[in-house]
Structure 1
């Protein structure tokens, strides 16, 4: 890799773990563009995520999510992903081969609090706390298949971004000049 080229940083984690907020902060700190896979899919299809799920179903959405990964750049970029992108092994392998994967973790309580009254997430609407916890636990092993797992519980967005930058500088996983 050239000195000026950096592999993609993929940010994964459960719904409402802070991927978008931390990705934006990281983009500012590292001076890199940030692309959100959900937003990319919405713009590509001209539908919001709930409409895609309602009209076409989850499998169609997961296919679009996988296509987005392949279409997006994989150098000098931060990509924030939807919470379910890790469900497909091909996606997890692609992200690890083409960049570094950073998984954000927080408690189920924090996630439940953040998701209350959020109607933009079709996999949450009408779910009980127990059902959300089951979904959370079911996905944990996939999130743990990452280069860095970072606990965000009780931490500010700048602090989490700072921890990620520190890891990037010392890990050797990403070739960077920062």
Structure 2
């Protein structure tokens, strides 16, 4: 089975759903951001501070190409879709699932989170702006779209497993 790539904005549920889906499908899960951190020995915030977003995106692409393309669930960083080559790689090497959520839901989920370098400052304005910029890219990459707003983890996983049967 090809790997399953979970994409979506920060706070859309990629990590949580990835872990739950891993249990349901009995497949291992890997997180692209964790792999970037592991390979560099730095946190995502440290990479953004030291190398900027461009430097981070370069590392992210390199890491993506080294992740397993079979029998894994891959949770990705919210900006992985910014590069066309990443979208193409995921489409060619797996099933791509967009986890979507309303801006209000995302803000609720990210409340108190200090690990998101792109959200320093005016969170509400930034979430709406970045989400609207990225949505066409998410849609371009996705084989399946699941709205996670106001849904339990169990409901999302069940819906996702049903939808994956037809992809």
TM-score normalised by the chain length of structure 1: 0.91
Count of residues in Structure 1 that have an aligned counterpart in Structure 2: 166
Q: Report the alpha carbon displacement of residue 113 of structure 1 after superposing the two structures with TM.
A: 1.7
Deviations 1:82-132 (A, max 9, x none): 000001011000000000100001100011122222110100111341222
Distance 1:128 1:46 in 2: 28
Whole-angstrom distance in 2 between the partners of 1:125 and 1:37 = 22
Q: Which has the larger radius of gyration?
A: 1
Residues 24-72 of structure 1, C-alpha deviation per residue, up to 9 Å, x if partnerless?
Answer: 0000000000000001111111111101100111111000110111001
CA distance in structure 2 between the partners assigned to 1:97 and 1:56 by the alignment: 29
Which residue pairs with 1:148 in the alignment? 144
> Does the residue aligned with 1:39 lie in a helix, a strand or coil?
helix
Q: Distance in 2 between the 1:132 and 1:19 partners? A: 16
SS state at 1:75 partner? coil
Q: 1:73: which partner in 2?
A: 68
Other structure's SS at 1:10 match? strand
**Structure 2 residues not aligned, in runs of 5+:** none
- Residue from 154, 161, 166 that aligns with 2:157: 161
Identify which range, 128-137 or 10-19, moves more after superposition.
128-137
Matches within 5 A, 1:87-106: 87-106=82-101
Query: What TM-score comes out, normalization by structure 2 length?
Result: 0.96
Distance 2:148 2:9 in 1: 12
The 1-side partners of 2:123 and 2:109 are apart by: 14
Aligned with residue 45 of structure 1, among 29, 40, 44: 40
1:139 aligned residue: 134
Mapped partners of 1:128, 1:159: distance in 2 = 28
In 2, the alpha carbon distance for the partners of 1:38 and 1:91 equals 14
Number of the residue aligned with 1:176: none
Q: SS of 1:117's equivalent?
A: coil
- Which 10-residue stretch deviates more, 28-37 or 128-137? 128-137
